[in-house]
Amino acid sequence: MANKLRRIALAVGAVVLVGGIGYTGLVQYGLHKRYPQTVRIEEGAGLKDQIARGEYIARLSDCTACHTKDGGQPFAGGYKLETPFGAILSSNITSDKETGIGGWTQEQFDRAVRHGVGSYGNLYAAMPYNAYAKLTDQDLTDLWAYIRTIPAVSNKVVENQLPFPFNQRWILAGWNLLFFKDQVFQENTQVSPEVNRGAYLVEGAGHCASCHTAKNLLGGDSSAYLQGGTLQGWFAPDLTPNPHTGLGHWSREDIVNYLRAGTNSKTASSGPMTEAIENSTQYMSESDLHAIAQYLHSLPASQSTIPAAIDSQQNAMLVGKKIYESQCNACHLSDGSGVRNMIPSLAGNAQVNSADASSLLNVVLNGSQGPFTHANPTAAGMPAFAWKLSDSNIADVMTYIRNRWGNAAQHVSSEQVEKARQSTHASEWLGADKN
Ligand code: HEC
Ligand code: HEC
Ligand code: HEC
């Protein structure tokens, strides 16, 4: 018996040892893999055009969003990304030799941006290298031509402040094995060049899936591609042509206008999408915006079952109606239709019909300044109601707008409102009984 146990222990030990050696080999292979560059930085007259093309790729990819801290120098890093595993700070990618990437070669830049290996080893996927992996050799080189012209800013960023074991970068090689497809964009010969261009922009530079695709427990993309995802107190809705919770009723023009101006005849953006529009999509060319719209329309619609609308005689609906009529009517109108290009229509609104009410709660509690873009220079705002309405009143008005005018979605509870109040650091209800 003792012999048998010893043999089992030895076998397990051997498996762990061989597995450990194999894994170490995998990590080392990933860190030292070479990426020979086929496209080069241009010399002479062509360089100016190349830098301009690179600047456009940087816009499409929204590098500024994460690499510029609020009030900080452009691309000098230090922006904090909250993830379920802890906060991650973005790197300084200016041409400073000490604290930025000034001494880097094109191959090093490629290794970080398309393959996820940076100064300290494997990068966290908070840097969307899993999307940028799709960039063509030409686009990557153009991007590098631009990034290396960014003036040096000395700013030392804390490299890693995650708790153990998440601060161990070698673990990320395993994550890559599970979730990272290290492959340049492959054209689909079955669809038009325009749809291919849209797919390239959405899957690659635009990294839309990093917010609009739900994540699994390990932070990898779930298989419900672009069918909605939750992030930092917001919900990024379904972008497939689902008629209830997705873009089923949006025309191509609606999508183009939204990405260019932040508003369209149906809605206005808020939160992280407003930032993506202000920093990135408003600068996209007309043809690129149309390509994205074509591609989103070509996706298979997600298959969610529409819940039955909650009965208008239920208590939450009756109270919700009263609150709506006294607080919301003036702007969103009694038929929920809003004001075109200014105040969102709540009727038939995909976000309002989504199972996840995070964005709705966020906007109603904290208010929201509408998108400020070239095409929409005078944004309307939504006032905050956190101080004015109790958790139960907010829950009821949410339930009401989600089940009126043809809408149908889950009931919102006071507990959900209370949680959202805490997680979004909303102010307290001033009528609260402090005893
Ligand atoms: C969604 C946020 C986000 C976006 C968008 C983003 N980055 Fe990053 N990037 C990060 C974070 C966070 C890190 C640090 C990750 C880490 O420490 O593992 C990083 C790291 C890097 C690094 C590695 C630096 C080093 O010294 O190791 C480079 C290079 C880089 N990013 C370039 C870019 C470029 C170029 C773009 C646009 C094409 C871009 N990033 C867009 C979040 C982002
Ligand atoms: C940083 C996260 C983030 C990124 C990146 C992002 N989105 Fe969004 N998006 C959101 C959030 C959050 C909302 C909800 C905003 C709201 O309710 O006003 C949203 C809303 C939208 C909507 C409106 C949907 C509706 O029914 O109201 C469209 C269309 C959209 N995004 C398209 C895109 C496309 C295309 C890309 C890539 C080019 C993209 N988004 C990238 C977070 C993101
Ligand atoms: C002063 C006018 C005004 C009032 C009053 C108002 N809203 Fe809004 N609401 C807006 C504007 C403008 C936006 C768009 C904000 C943005 O783009 O960020 C908005 C956005 C919203 C959204 C987000 C829609 C989406 O597609 O993401 C919801 C939900 C909402 N309001 C519900 C309400 C409710 C419920 C009330 C009453 C408790 C209310 N609003 C009162 C002007 C108003």
* Domain boundary assignment for the chain: 21-179, 193-298, 315-423
**Across 8-17, 40-49, 177-186, 249-258, least confident range:** 8-17
| DSSP character at residue 94 | S
Tokens (6 digits) for 252:
């191509």
**Closest atom, ligand 1, to C-alpha of 147:** 35
Mean pLDDT of the chain: 94
Atom 11, ligand 3: which residue's CA is nearest? Answer: 382
Tokens (6 digits) for 77:
């890093």
- What distances in angstroms separate CA 238 from CA 57, 108, 273, 411, one per listed residue? 25, 36, 13, 19
CB neighbours of residue 157 within 10 Å: 17
CA of 316 to the centre of ligand 1 (A): 46
Average pLDDT over every residue of 219-240? 95
- Asked if the model's pLDDT at residue 433 lies above 70, the reply is no
Confidence of residue 8 (pLDDT cuts 50, 70, 90): confident
Give yes or no on whether 193-298 and 315-423 have one common fold. yes
More confident residue, 423 or 435: 423
CA of 350 to the centre of ligand 1 (A): 31
Q: Which of 63, 211, 238, 373 to mutate to test the pocket of ligand 2 (most atoms within 8 A of CB)?
A: 211
Average pLDDT over every residue of 396-416? 98
Cβ–ligand 1 distance for 61 under 6 Å, the answer yes
Give residue 435's pLDDT.
Answer: 46
pLDDT per position as a tens digit, 152-164: 999 999 988 898 9
**Closest atom, ligand 1, to C-alpha of 122:** 18
Which CATH number applies to 315-423: 1.20.1300.10, 3.30.479.30, 3.40.50.1820, 1.10.760.10?
1.10.760.10
Q: Is the pTM of this model over 0.75?
A: yes
**Closest atom, ligand 1, to C-alpha of 65:** 5
Rounded to an integer, what distance in angstroms lies between the CA atom of residue 273 and that of residue 228?
Answer: 13
Cβ neighbours of residue 372 closer than 8 Å, sequence gap 6 or more: 262, 278, 379
Secondary-structure class of domain 193-298 per CATH: mainly alpha
